[in-house]
């Protein structure tokens, strides 16, 4: 198991796969989960991630493939 990887890294990988498979509903949910996970940055735990380009690329790629970016939050 990849215990050393962050949840956000796993979500990015799953989102990339969903995009490659043109599975919009799953890609949307994974992007929502990624957004929720990223919103925790700056909380009690220190975030040591310096490069957030991969996250921007995921949002850009999603928009490019599906033509829209719809996130549903409670």
Segments making up each domain of the chain, as ranges: 7-66
Coil, strand or helix at 49: coil
pLDDT digits (tens, 9 = 90+) for 24-60: 999 999 999 988 887 776 555 545 555 678 888 888 8
DSSP string, 43-56: SSS-------HHHH
Asked whether the beta carbons of 27 and 18 are under 8 A apart, the reply is: yes
67 pLDDT band, cuts 50/70/90, is: confident
């Amino acid at each position: 198991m990849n215990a050393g990887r962050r949840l956000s890294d796993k979500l990015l990988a799953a989102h990339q796969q969903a995009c490659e498979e043109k599975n919009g509903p799953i890609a949307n949910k994974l992007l929502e989960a990624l957004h929720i996970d990223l919103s925790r940055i700056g909380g009690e735990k220190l975030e040591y991630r310096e490069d957030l380009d991969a996250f921007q690329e995921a949002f850009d790629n999603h928009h490019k493939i599906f033509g829209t970016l719809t996130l549903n939050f409670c």
